[in-house]
Amino acid sequence: NSDDMTEVINYTKSNYAEPNEKYFGAAEGMNVIYIHLESFQNFLIDYKLNGEEVTPFLNSLTKDPNTLYFDNFFHQTAQGKTSDAEFMLENSLFGLPQGSAFITKGQNTYQAAPAILSDNGYTSAVFHGNSGTFWNRNEIYKSFGYDHFFDASYYDTSSEKDMAEYGLMDKPFFEQSLPLLESLQQPFYTKFITVAHHYPYKIDQELTTIGKANTGDASVDDYFQTARYADEAIEEFITKLKESGLYDNTMLVFYGDHYGISENHNRAMEIIMGKEITPYESANLQRVPLIIHAPGIEGGVNHSYGGQIDLLPTVLHLLGVDTKNYVQFGTDLLSEEHNEVVAFRNDDFVSPTIFSIGGKYYDATTGLPLDDSQLEKAEEYKEEVDYKLQLSDKVVNGDLLRFYTPADFTPVNPSQFNYNKKVL
């Protein structure tokens, strides 16, 4: 009820991190293109398989002078997988401890990125070569205020060799998306959801340009071939964005959605990583890429600890939109006040100093059991994480944003949107 909302607003206001004036508005008025890196773990960046880079394009992008690369960025997803990642990045609300908020909370009231940016003159669209009902996207996107959702019905999916398990393969997907993208009024806020690099990472060997690993565990061995394919598809897309001129006034945000290799494959991963996969190392493997490119921004490797919950305030501040009045559980990764304690849905957390895994505390740098002198600090972090998750669940389970409209936010009317392909 609404006094719960008062508690939530008090928390999010106290948790708010001031923008970094060096980056606030650095991408103001630019288009936004999110590239959803399906099942991409950050260990792939700069990884060499038998001496060969797996993802040479993304590797080069992390070194571009106008690119911020966050090498301590973590996924925070649970059973909702891709949909949890989307839920967090659009709302800065955590997904649920069980199930998928996309499916069970599709009709809630949200103050999501598309709606906030619509008030700032943006057109919004999602591109995804799978059926629009998967993860209930075609319903919840209306609650987020997305103007367009180009699902499989907008693509030519007639050729079997172009299809992956969850939709159109990335190369034809990006190719066919370009005219749809160019049809949008600018500035636009868009998200492209890839599918080729998805468990169990099977791919037509005619499409591969790198060998398999040889751990003997098929999904680990194949993981590198679909990662390379996805990297090539993205490179092709970026090349086309440059040719079309869009590249010069667009902020690109690449993010990994969740792990690709589960803990069932630790034995094989010990071969891949060249070390024992302890609970501490497994937590380290939950890093996913976050790569933000925009013309003119000061790039570099940013070591701040953060997660998908932090994407919305980070992106809005880069666009020059302050987030003080919104209910967001993450903080701007670029802010001097950014909160570096990264909460996971299972109550584990990581931070620059302390990891908490399965109820045990570890030194973040050595992986050794935490020194007693740090235990009080660890308990403080644990309390903060539990409270943050519990409060976010209250907002989502109680649909509490019904009781709070931020200043100068135009509430969304989901029934105004129709994603069906217009018969021209």
Annotated catalytic sites, by residue? Answer: 82
Q: Give the C-alpha separation, 331 to 162, whole Å.
A: 39
Residue 177, contacted partner among ligand GP9, Mn ion, none, CB below 5-8 A by kind: none
Check residue 105 for interaction with ligand GP9 (CB under 6 A): no
CB atoms under 10 Å from CB of 372, counted, come to: 8
To the nearest whole angstrom, how small is the minimum distance from the Cβ of residue 98 to ligand GP9? 15
Choices 68-76, 191-199, 357-365, 389-397; region in contact with ligand GP9 by CB under 6 A: 191-199
Q: Does residue 257 have a known ligand-binding role?
A: yes
Site for ligand GP9 in 157-176 (CB under 6 A): 166
If the CB atoms of residues 258 and 338 are measured against Mn ion, the closer one turns out to be: 258
Q: Does residue 6 have a known ligand-binding role?
A: no
Q: Which of 5, 112, 126, 195 binds ligand GP9 (CB under 6 A)?
A: 195
Q: Give the C-alpha separation, 233 to 177, whole Å.
A: 12
Q: Which of 58, 193, 290, 321 binds ligand GP9 (CB under 6 A)?
A: 193
Angle between helices 375-397 and 2-15 (to 10 degrees): 140
If the CB atoms of residues 134 and 409 are measured against Mn ion, the closer one turns out to be: 134
Rounded-to-10 torsion of CA 302, 308, 312, 316: 20
**Cα 300 off chain centre by:** 19
To the nearest whole angstrom, how small is the minimum distance from the Cβ of residue 199 to Mn ion? 9
If the CB atoms of residues 87 and 361 are measured against ligand GP9, the closer one turns out to be: 87
Check residue 123 for interaction with ligand GP9 (CB under 6 A): no
Check residue 134 for interaction with ligand GP9 (CB under 6 A): yes
Residue 195, contacted partner among Mn ion, ligand GP9, none, CB below 5-8 A by kind: ligand GP9
Token pair recorded at residue 349: 């957390």
DSSP result, 237-290: HHHHHHHHTGGGGEEEEEEE-S-SS-GGGHHHHHHHHTS---HHHHHHTTB--E
To the nearest whole angstrom, how small is the minimum distance from the Cβ of residue 106 to ligand GP9? 15
* Stretch (H or E) spanning 381: helix 375-397
Q: Which of 42, 55, 111, 130 binds ligand GP9 (CB under 6 A)?
A: 130
Q: Give the C-alpha separation, 85 to 284, whole Å.
A: 18
DSSP β-bridge partners for residue 360 = 357
Residue 155, contacted partner among ligand GP9, Mn ion, none, CB below 5-8 A by kind: none
Site for ligand GP9 in 318-357 (CB under 6 A): none
Q: Does residue 38 have a known ligand-binding role?
A: yes
Q: Are 259 and 285 in contact (CB under 8 A)?
A: yes
Q: Give the C-alpha separation, 160 to 189, whole Å.
A: 31
If the CB atoms of residues 38 and 340 are measured against ligand GP9, the closer one turns out to be: 38
Q: Does residue 372 have a known ligand-binding role?
A: no
Q: Are 88 and 320 in contact (CB under 8 A)?
A: no
Binding site residues, as ranges?
A: 38, 82, 198, 257-258
| Residues at the site binding ligand GP9, with contacts judged by CB under 6 A | 38, 81-82, 130, 134-135, 166, 193, 195, 198
